[in-house]
Structure 1
Amino acid sequence: MPDLSLVRSEIERMRLQVGRQRREILQLQRAGIVTASAEGLLQRMLDMVDRLCEQREHLKAEQARAQPRRRRSARHA
């Protein structure tokens, strides 16, 4: 299973690509070019980001379970 930092960096990379794809779609629309295939690609990219976010949350939960719990001391007023 991938490392948490690897998944986080992949999410960031994909988000940058999503932004580029959105800008490209806008340019194509301004030029009057059909953007259906570009929008399909954008949706697949967004789906990938969603899957990576789910994987990140799963890894975070695994790490939290693996760490020993710290005992809290009672606060005295």
Structure 2
Amino acid sequence: MTLTYQRRPDTSEYPAHFISALVARVAAELALPITENASRADVLQKLASAELRLARLVDSQQSTPPAIDDFTLINVRF
């Protein structure tokens, strides 16, 4: 596992869905080396994928797209 970071943010800055996805991913990565159980590692990998999908879904719904206010083609229509 390779980890590269630029700063150390406070953990309160992380959203809950990101933390869940990160915990699931780390568990999936370490399951096979620690337990040597391939089926458990596979289950945890699937769980990590599901958590990542959920985190992306939640993150995509957090903010609304910016409105187009002053676009000349829209103003010409009216």
**1:20 CA displacement:** 2.3
| C-alpha distance in 2 between matches for 1:53 and 1:10 | 8
**How many residues matched?**
57
Q: Is the 8 A contact 2:24 2:51 kept in 1?
A: no
CA RMSD across the alignment: 2.5
Q: Could you state the TM-score of these two structures normalised by the residue count of structure 2?
A: 0.56
Q: Which has the higher helix share?
A: 1
| C-alpha distance in 2 between matches for 1:72 and 1:22 | 53
| C-alpha distance in 2 between matches for 1:51 and 1:9 | 13
**Structure 1 segments (4+ residues) deviating >4 Å:** 70-73
Unmatched 5+ residue regions in structure 1? 26-37
Higher relative contact order (CA 8 A, sep 6+): 1
Q: Match of 1:48?
A: 47
Q: Percent identity?
A: 5
Unmatched 5+ residue regions in structure 2? 1-13, 71-78
